[in-house]
Homo-oligomer: A and B are copies of this chain.
């Protein structure tokens, strides 16, 4: 799994990755691969699974901590972007597979994004209630936010360092814009 993740991080797409290659990088014989996974598909699913739970837990924790103090939006965006930066290969893979054709990968990746969206929606509703500001279509707002953050985050990876700060600020504005829109729709 480490070998595959490392190769993904260096830009390779998962389906150009061969069983033999992964085995060689992991320092085992090609045939020994089968002791661990039935397939390359098995490997891919295990990778998505692992990073998925990590990511979901991470965002959970961030929202709990951020409630006391700084802007939740800013903290969440920055944390997610940090994670994407630290796990470039996997993040790219998850988003790309969620856009692929019906397959085990696509289901796994989509499940993760849906979970993140559902969790975020739950938080948004709770937070809006607390502030007494009704939201319109909170689930759709969360959906949009997750989509925007992932696409922006991935795009950020190949952006020259000096422009990154500007892009992150732009992402924060985008999220705020969605929230404002949702609030406006909640009042109507």
Chain A interface residues toward B at CB < 8 A: 11-13, 15-16, 92, 95-96, 98-103, 106, 110, 136-137, 140-141, 143-144, 147-148, 151-152, 154-155, 158, 170, 173-174, 176-185
Contact = CB atoms under 8 A, between A and B. Distances in A.
B185 A99 contact: no
A174 to B, nearest CB: 5
Nearest to A11: B101
Given A144-B144, A180-B184, 12 more contacts: A11-B101, A12-B101, A96-B96, A110-B155, A137-B177, A144-B177, A144-B178, A177-B181, A178-B178, A180-B180, A181-B181, A181-B184
**Ranked 9 nearest A-B pairs via Cβ:** A181-B181, A11-B101, A177-B181, A180-B181, A180-B184, A102-B158, A147-B151, A99-B154, A144-B174
Contacts of A136: 177
Contacts of A152: 147
The prevalent SS among residues of A at the interface is helix
A99 B155 contact: yes
Nearest to A10: B101
B177 A141 contact: yes
A77 B170 CA distance: 24
Given A99-B151, A181-B177, A158 B16 contact: no
A158 B106 contact: yes
22 contacts: A11-B100, A12-B101, A13-B13, A13-B15, A92-B99, A92-B101, A96-B96, A98-B155, A99-B154, A101-B158, A110-B155, A136-B177, A137-B173, A140-B177, A144-B144, A144-B177, A177-B181, A177-B185, A178-B178, A180-B180, A180-B181, A180-B185
A110 B98 CA distance: 19
Contact of A184 (B92, B96, B174, B184): B184
